[in-house]
Structure 1
Amino acid sequence: MSGGWANSDRKSRLPSGWAKIRARILERDRICVLCGVRPSAFCDHIIAKADLNEDSDLQGVCGPCHDQKSAREGAAAAKAKGRPSRTRPPEQHPGLL
């Protein structure tokens, strides 16, 4: 993941046996379940923010697919929060003031 854990609280919410769970999922899903091409490198939660650490909610994915999925989920979360846009409103022409 490009941004790492910088903007995520996921690491603090993982169960104490996460290393074993992750290893089991990556063993089960050796090839990325999203693209079916590259080897799995990440143990991904299928349902974002659900904190379901059961095998049925976990999948092995490759780095590029994980980055894309995380970016989509982050964008959806930001949109749902209704953050203000980064664009300025159009300014009136000085001659019209």
Structure 2
Amino acid sequence: MPGWKGSNRRHELPKDWPAIVIFVLRRDHHRCQHIREDTGRKCGRHANQVDHIIRPADGGTDHPSNLQALCEWHHQRKSSSEGGTASAIARRARRDVATPLHPGLIDPPRPDPAAPF
């Protein structure tokens, strides 16, 4: 899968991940569980992939209750969106740390009101 290239996520999955995938796909009848925005209904196309509803990075678990079957298209779309969002946040954080404030924008230290001069 191209999305795994350069990722260490596969090593973070539980040892019984293949059995969990089979369970979730069977539970969802191999049908994509993505809710379409235009109709409010499930996609329903053939699903051959399993995805975390709440990402582990956001506190989600590998428990089947946090997993759903997705078609390849919706899984790629969701993963790309999440990856793009995470990259933007990281870029913004690096930029904010690397960009020093102009001296005119820094508040000068205020004198201690208890000091006489």
Counterpart contact for 1:31–1:38, Cα < 8 Å: yes
Task: Give, in whole Å, the separation in 1 of the partners of 2:19 and 2:88.
Answer: 34
| 8 Å contact from structure 1 (residues 45, 59) kept in 2 | yes
Structure 2, unaligned runs of 5 or more: 35-41, 96-117
2:84 aligned with 1:75: yes
* 1:51 Cα deviation from its structure 2 partner: 5.4
In the TM superposition, what is the alpha-carbon distance from 1:12 to its structure 2 partner? 0.3
SS state at 2:3 partner: coil
Equivalent pairs: percent with the same residue? 35
Matches within 5 A, 1:77-92: 77-82=86-91
Aligned AA (2:73): P
- 2:51 aligned with 1:44, yes or no? yes
1:18 and 1:51 map into 2 onto residues whose CA distance is 15
State the AA in 2 paired with 1:64.
W
Q: How many residues align?
A: 84
- 1:16 partner amino acid: K
> 1:31 — aligned with what?
31
Partners of 1:63 and 1:40 in 2: CA distance: 7
Using the size of structure 1 for normalisation, the TM-score is 0.77
Q: Unpaired segments of 5 or more residues in structure 1?
A: 86-97
Q: Which residue identity does 2:85 align to in structure 1?
A: A
When the two chains are superposed, the root-mean-square deviation of aligned CA atoms in Å is 1.9
Q: TM-score, normalised by structure 2?
A: 0.64
Residues of 1 paired with 2:32 and 2:86: CA distance? 24
Residue in structure 1 matched with residue 12 of structure 2 by the alignment: 13
SS at match of 1:82: helix
Tell me the residue number matched to 1:64: 73
Higher RCO, 1 vs 2 (CA within 8 Å, ≥6 residues apart): 1
